[in-house]
Structure 1
Amino acid sequence: MTITRLNMTVAAAALLLTTACAGTGGPNDNQNAASGALIGAGLGAIAGVAAGDDDQERRRNALIGGALGAAAGAGVGNVLDRQEQELRNALGNNVGIVNNGNNLIVTLPQDILFATNSTAVSASAQGDLNTLARSIQAYPNSTVNVIGHTDDVGAAAFNQDLSQRRAQAVSNVLINAGVSPARIRSIGRGEDQPIATNLTPAGRQQNRRVEIVITPN
């Protein structure tokens, strides 16, 4: 095997394996790291085999790719698990956190973030957002999507605009707390992505939310 061929094998495996981490996750249980390592090893081995010209070379490449994949997948999973646990310890019960193995989704109900029809972040929510900003700064190798959602009460165009302005307001708090603007994107989804029925007050309350999605680079 030439040096060039080996380098191509390693690069191909590493490229696949940066997205290899998957799992359900949970507080401090390292499930994402374990799942990421297993899936990463499998994808790395596949990449290595694909780069080989004969059986001996393919076996050698599979070992190289599998080792790279396990390390990459476990590394991403460990980072997510650690950041998730720290956020759970620091944030109140009103904040939802989901670790799906690829990113963290931090959900804040709009009812605690904003007054009705307002885009001014409430004083009571500032503390949680400042805590979140410190966590984002402590884990600099990630990007952040701030996504606003509404219920379906009122005109769809109004809800779309309101969700965008609320997402931007939350982003501004994170930026003012020290997060680089280059890492943050503000998105308004309006009423298009409900997580509960809009036919009941409880369901509409769940749909009015802002999600901060933290994705490792």
Structure 2
Amino acid sequence: MKYLVVLCAIVFLTACATTDPYTGEDKASRTATGAGIGAVAGAVIGAASASRSDRARGALTGAVAGGAIGGGVGYYMDRQEAKLREELQGTGVQVRREGDKLYLVMPGNITFATGRHEIRSEFYPVLNSVAKVVNEFNQTIVVVSGHTDSTGSAQLNQTLSENRAQSVADYLAARDVSRMRMETYGFGPRYPVATNATAEGRQENRRVELELVPVE
């Protein structure tokens, strides 16, 4: 039984192995990881629910079903990630993947004028591309968060971060992204990604992030 479970996981992981188009390295996609975990869980459940004489068949059936379920969310986010990278290449927006969540990091210097929350008109095409993909992959929640550096008062930075997040959400809503899918937050300087002791670090900290969370 245990050998069959391991075999099922290996089959799913091997079948879903991919090549990273940006590094050229072989890797197991998130789809494969989810499918492998689902396969193991399905095999165990399938075997446990089958009769003693038919446990092998039950394990295999459970592995197939579990793999399909486990790989579904990963496959959906794999496709969305690929589409976003294609649409946003060369725009300055960073696409980051953490598990089954996607993050779009929009640097403040290309999105807004200094100290302002109105979106630069030259950034409209970028947000149009984001809206296009987000509307295509509508089984996600869109969390929009604004961040600042530590320069200036805490209240000023808090308000600025909230207004910038709301500006991005408003723009996406005007491009038919449902407000029911969006949440907005302003965090001021509370979550820096770099040091505020240098100009370069402060520039990195001034940003708006979109977190795309799958509805499971």
Cα deviations by residue, 1:21-53 (Å, 9 ceiling, x for unpaired): xxxx9558661111111123334456x38x869
Indicate if the aligned counterparts of 1:109 and 1:208 stay in contact, CA closer than 8 A. yes
Equivalent in 84, 97, 100 of residue 87 of structure 1: 84
**Which residue does 1:5 correspond to in 2?**
none
**Secondary structure of 2:209's partner?**
strand
One-letter amino acid matched to 1:76 = V
Matched, 1:70 2:54: no
1:110 equivalent in alignment to 2:112: no
Correspondence for 1:196 among 194, 197, 205: 194
Task: Call closer, same or farther: CA 1:153–1:54 in 2, change over 3 Å.
Answer: farther
Q: Which residue of 1 aligns with 2:14?
A: none
After superposition, the Cα gap between the structure-2 partners of 1:196 and 1:184, relative to the gap in structure 1 and judged at 3 Å, is same
Q: Does 1:162 align with 2:160?
A: yes
Task: Show the counterpart of 2:9.
Answer: none
Aligned CA distance change for structure 1 residues 61 and 209 (closer, same or farther; 3 Å) = farther
Stretch of structure 1 that moved more, 25-34 or 122-131: 25-34
1:26 and 1:203 mapped to 2: Cα distance? Answer: 29
Query: 1:40: which partner in 2?
Result: 38
Residues 63, 122 of structure 1: CA spacing in aligned structure 2 closer, same or farther, 3 A cutoff?
same
Equivalent residue letter for 2:87: A
Cα distance between partner residues in 1 of 2:147 and 2:198? 17
Please, which runs of 5 or more residues in structure 2 have no aligned partner?
Answer: 1-18
Q: 1:116 to 1:36 in 2, by over 3 A?
A: same
The 10-residue stretch of structure 1 (171-180 or 52-61) with the greater mean CA deviation from structure 2 = 52-61
8 A Cα contact 2:50 2:58, kept in partner: no
Counterpart residue number, 1:139: 137
CA 1:59–1:162: 2 relative to 1, 3 Å: farther
- 1:101 is displaced (CA, Å) by 2.6
Give the partner amino acid of 1:154.
G
Residues of 1 paired with 2:155 and 2:63: CA distance?
49
Give the whole-Å Cα distance in 2 for the aligned partners of 1:166 and 1:56.
63
> CA-atom RMSD, angstroms?
2.6
* Normalised TM-score (structure 2): 0.78
Letter in 2 for 1:87: L
Q: Among 134, 147, 153, which residue is 2:151 paired with?
A: 153
Gaps of 5+ in 1: 1-24
Identity %, equivalent residues: 39
Find the residue that maps to 1:118 and give its secondary structure: coil
